[in-house]
Amino acid sequence: MQPVQRLIRIDSSTGEASGVWNPDPDPATGVVTSGGCFPNHSTWRLNPQFVVTGLPDDQSVHVQITLKQIAPPKQPQQQHEQQQKPKQQEFKLCAMGLFIGIKDARWDRLLMLGQDRLVHRSEMAVRAEVTTELSLPRLDADQQYVIVPSTFEPTERGYFKLSIACAT
């Protein structure tokens, strides 16, 4: 079985996290973080997953979630090269979108996302940013919301920033 990345926490009060989709195994961990969207059921679970913390326990909450593709970080060598001769770095957008689901606290992460666990699914599109607004109902004490940024194809590579803002 392919190793998977651990859940990443994103607090609704601080509201920002970064991630990467990479179809190649990480040399240290063997983790692949580009799983594509449904119907790639066998690889979808490889996408980075963010558990939302800091939501009110006693009421529903309105949230705005934004997924933005960002340029890859510059390597020290690249920064030196750019100082000597300016070169346009190629930055290609990939088709992407968001899945928002509910997981039970006893699960390490979402492995599948059936209709009973799917809260929202954005359109998959080639664009720099996807924003969705929705109301999240209050959950049982043993449940958590999980945001899964996904590429369309499991072979896509890219960097992203995920942000969440909420108002009760």
Q: How many CB atoms lie within 10 A of CB 5?
A: 19
Tokens at 41, concatenated: 């059921």
- Check pLDDT > 60 for residue 129: yes
- Check pLDDT > 90 for residue 79: no
**b/e for 40-79, b at 16 or more Cβ within 10 A?**
beebbbbbbbbbbeebeeeeebebebbbbbeeeeeeeeee
- Check pLDDT > 70 for residue 77: no
From its phi and psi, is residue 11 left (phi > 0), alpha (psi between -120 and 50) or beta? beta
Q: What is the pTM of this model?
A: 0.85
pLDDT band at 56 (very low <50, low <70, confident <90, very high): confident
pLDDT band at 1 (very low <50, low <70, confident <90, very high): very low
What's the pLDDT at 59?
Answer: 85
What's the pLDDT at 2?
Answer: 45
Gap between the Cα atoms of 150 and 34, Å rounded: 7
SS3 41: helix
**How much of the chain exceeds pLDDT 70, in percent?**
84
